[in-house]
Every structure is written in C-alpha cells, then in structure tokens.
C-alpha cells in the first residue's frame, strides 16, 4: 500500500482578526493548521474601550480561540508566544506560559501578530500611563477609572480630591477620543448622585494631541465635528502638545511654542502610538525584510516577504501602501493569505493576484447617540453616524451571543446611562499589566 503524504503544515502566529480569518479560509483545505497565540482568546479590539468603561463584559468582546475553531478539523490551537523564526529550517520558536520552549515546523507561515503600545522611546511612562491593546489592559484601566472616584470620595483635602477627579489622555486618535467621551459620560451620567462627598460631574477630562486636530485620519470636516462634540461634553482638548514627563501625580506637557505646563492628574492613560512586537524584528533578521519606523514588515503586493513566498505577513504588522491599522485591513489580508496558501496546497501554479483592499470606512463612537463615520466620500456624524457605527460593530462581532449581549448592554446605556460592568479587581494595584511596552535602556 502507498503511504498517504503528510498534509502541508501551516503555522499562523496570532489569533486576532488576521489570524482568525486566515484559519477560516483554510477550513476545508487539505492542510494541518496550527494557530499559536500568547492569549487563549480572540479579542474584538475595537471595543476594548467599552470593556474598560464598563459597558461590555469581557465575554462579549473576547471569545475562546478553541471555541471559534472547534469545527475546523484541520486546526490546532496552542497557547504560546512566538519568539523567533528560523527561515532556513522553516521553524517557529515559541515560549509556553511556564517558560518552556516549543518548536513548530512549517511549510507555510502566516504572521498575524498585530502591534503593541508604543511610548516613543519613553518606556518609563508605561508605569504611570497604561495603554490599551489587550484584555488585561482594559480591565486595568477599568480599575483605574472607577477607583479614582472612590479615592476622591475619601480624599483628605480639596487639592487631592481634584487630582483624583482629573483624567488625562495622551493621543487624540479614535481610542483617545472614544475613551474621553466615555469618561465624561461615566462622570456625568453613570455615577450621578451615587457619591455623598464629591460631585462626579465636576471631573475634568484632558485630551492631549500632538497634531492640530483630533481624529486627523477622518478628514478635517469630521475632525471638527468630533472636536465640537467633545467640547460640548466638557472634554478639554489640548492640540499641538507633546508630553515630556509622566509620574504618579500627573504629567508635564510642552506646547508648540516650547512652553511647558504641569497638569495634576492621578489617572493618565496612553492612547498614542503603536510599535511592532519583538517577533517582527526577529523575522526581519531571519529573512532580511525591511521594517518601517514602527517596526512593520515591508511586504510585496501578494503579502509575502521578498525571497520567501512561503511567509505571508498580514494585519497591523504589515507595511503595504500605507494601509491603516484597522480591523478591516486585518480581516481582508488574513483571508487573502489563507486563500493563497489554500491555492498552493491544492497544487495551483497560477500566480496570485496582488492584494486589493476594499475600504469599508472608519468610525469612532464619542458618546450616546453620537459618532463619526467616514466611508469614501460619505461623512456621517451625530445620530446617523451612531446608527451606522452600531450596525457595523454588530455585524463584525464574533458570535450570536456576543451580538445579542452587546445589543442589550448598548440599549441599557443609551436609555439610562447605567453600566452593568463596573466591578474591578484590586490585585493589579501595584502597576500596569504585563503587556505594556518595557522601558528602553
């Protein structure tokens, strides 16, 4: 009897949007798929801030990878962090949670690791200003937000009370704008009349942005509308500013004229900048691939690395035609890479067409009933923008139960301002979660 040939080995590094869509594209392909991720869940990252703000629960934005791929008979999920790649031997080196090593051979490699928070060379800021890229980060920020009001309630004097009631956000992109709006809603609606000593509505929310407008990627008209909405909510927007120092009691900011100002704030959140994780640099060393300033890997039009047609790079960690780091880009590149591998596994010899991105637009939720949406030349804001935002996020949420639960939570918040997910752990009080970028020597 003839021995059956072993199936083609496909390793997918990362279980985010790109990794998940790549695995789905390979579901019925005669390959053995291994999905390796440092987390055991797939995270709907665009709604992380809503988990941090207490609108959605962890289970509504995070689904177990094993559960999502349970019907994929050719897929295996491994909990480990990829640390290096041997491109010549076609091996991925990984580290399990207990520190032990793991080696994964591959015939095709799909890299979908995403990006991590960047502090622009000031890794020491992470100890006082957590970013938000993981579920751990969101829960840590939730604790920081709600605990600040509790601390203000028992503050020794007015100065300390005001420090606890001042929230500073660094970065005026979608995450910064969305979080700023949520904090104002928490202070003015969710916690209204719950405290006896403080008036939560008097909380200050400061938003610092280095450019001349918030949501600059949305274009000037929508950026101006977003700024007006933030101003109406009571958010203090500081444009053309650069943060030069952060500590446990606040931050120091420099404006365009070079003047520095100190702001006292016990809660500082970092919502600016991303950088590639270490595995991207390891892959660049192994293949000779070029990286941009943020560490993204430059790919060819078919998403492969030059000289390595067996390696596809997808999602946020990919650099191609200045495509933005959006969930839609990750989904489409992941699906494209999966189809390309499926084509090769089936013995196809026809050259793959270059990747073509279908722009589905951008959206940012600011507060109840108000959002901004940009789809091509169509610009929406206010209630119309919010309704489009609602439809898009419901469509992309993973799983019927997540969609139903999110819809119920949004209905409650929209109708009453109440948030059900306000519980927070106290065990992480010693510092930021481990996903924060380390300090650089």
Positions of E strands within 248-359: 250-254, 260-264, 267-270, 274-275, 297-298, 304-305, 308-313, 318-319
- Phi then psi for 194, rounded to 5 degrees? -90, -25
- Taking CA atoms, 154 is separated from 146, 148, 165, 202, 359, in Å, by 14, 10, 12, 16, 50
Strand partners, 14: none
Per the listing, tokens 């009571």 go with 234
Sign of CA dihedral 315, 318, 320, 323: positive
> What is the C-alpha separation between 148 and 163, in angstroms, rounded?
9
Q: Verify whether residue 2 is a known catalytic residue.
A: no
The token pair that represents 70 in the structure block: 């349970």
Cα atoms in the Cβ-side hemisphere of radius 13 Å centred on 85: 26
Do 31 and 9 contact (CB within 8 A), yes or no?
yes
Sign of CA dihedral 316, 319, 324, 329: negative
> What is the C-alpha separation between 57 and 139, in angstroms, rounded?
10
Give one DSSP letter per residue of 166-230, joined into a string: EEEEE--SHHHHHHHHHHHHIIIIITTTT-SS--GGG-EEEEEESSSSTTGGG-HHHHHHHHHHH
Which residue out of 178, 185, 213, 275 is catalytically annotated?
A: 178
Helix pair angle (327-345, 17-25), 10° resolution: 30
Do 190 and 142 contact (CB within 8 A), yes or no?
no
Q: Where are the alpha helices (DSSP H) in 26-107?
A: 48-52, 58-61, 65-68
Q: List, by residue number, the catalytic residues.
A: 178
């Amino acid at each position: 009897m003839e021995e059956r040939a072993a199936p083609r080995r496909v390793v997918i590094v990362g279980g985010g949007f790109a990794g998940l869509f790549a695995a789905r594209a390979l579901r019925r392909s005669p390959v053995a798929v291994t999905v390796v991720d440092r987390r055991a869940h797939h995270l709907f990252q665009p709604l992380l801030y809503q988990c941090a703000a207490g609108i959605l629960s962890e289970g509504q934005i995070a689904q177990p990878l094993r559960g999502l791929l349970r019907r994929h008979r050719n897929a295996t999920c491994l909990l480990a962090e990829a640390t290096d790649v041997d491109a010549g031997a076609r091996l991925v080196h990984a580290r399990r949670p207990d520190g032990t090593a793991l080696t994964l051979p591959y015939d095709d490699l799909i890299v979908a690791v995403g990006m991590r928070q960047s502090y622009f060379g000031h890794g020491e800021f992470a100890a006082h200003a957590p970013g938000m890229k993981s579920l751990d980060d969101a829960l840590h920020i939730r604790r920081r937000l709600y605990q600040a009001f509790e601390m203000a309630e028992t503050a020794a004097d007015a100065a300390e009370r005001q420090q606890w009631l001042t929230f500073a956000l660094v970065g005026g992109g979608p995450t910064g704008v969305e979080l700023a709006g949520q904090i104002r809603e928490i202070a003015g609606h969710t916690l209204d009349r719950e405290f006896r000593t403080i008036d939560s509505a008097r909380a200050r929310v400061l938003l610092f942005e280095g450019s001349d407008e918030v949501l600059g990627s949305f274009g000037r008209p929508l950026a101006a509308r977003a700024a007006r909405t933030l101003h109406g909510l009571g958010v203090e927007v500081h444009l053309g500013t650069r943060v030069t120092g952060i500590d446990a009691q606040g931050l120091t900011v420099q404006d365009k004229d070079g003047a520095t100002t100190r702001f006292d704030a016990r809660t500082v959140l970092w919502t600016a900048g991303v950088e590639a994780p270490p595995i991207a640099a390891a892959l660049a060393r192994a293949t000779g691939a070029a990286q941009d300033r943020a560490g993204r890997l430059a790919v060819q039009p078919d998403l492969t690395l030059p000289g390595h047609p067996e390696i596809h790079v997808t999602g946020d960690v990919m650099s191609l035609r200045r495509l933005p780091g959006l969930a839609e880009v990750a989904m489409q590149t992941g699906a494209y890479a999966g189809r390309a591998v499926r084509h090769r596994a089936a013995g196809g010899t026809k050259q793959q067409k270059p990747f073509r991105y279908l722009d589905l637009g951008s959206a940012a939720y600011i507060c109840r009933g108000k959002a901004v949406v940009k789809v091509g030349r169509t610009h929406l804001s206010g209630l119309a923008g919010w309704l489009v935002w609602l439809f898009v996020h419901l469509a992309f949420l993973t799983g019927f139960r997540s969609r139903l639960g999110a819809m119920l939570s949004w209905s409650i918040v929209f109708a009453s301002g109440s948030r059900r997910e306000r519980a927070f752990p106290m065990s992480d009080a010693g510092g930021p979660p481990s996903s924060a970028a380390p300090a650089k020597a």
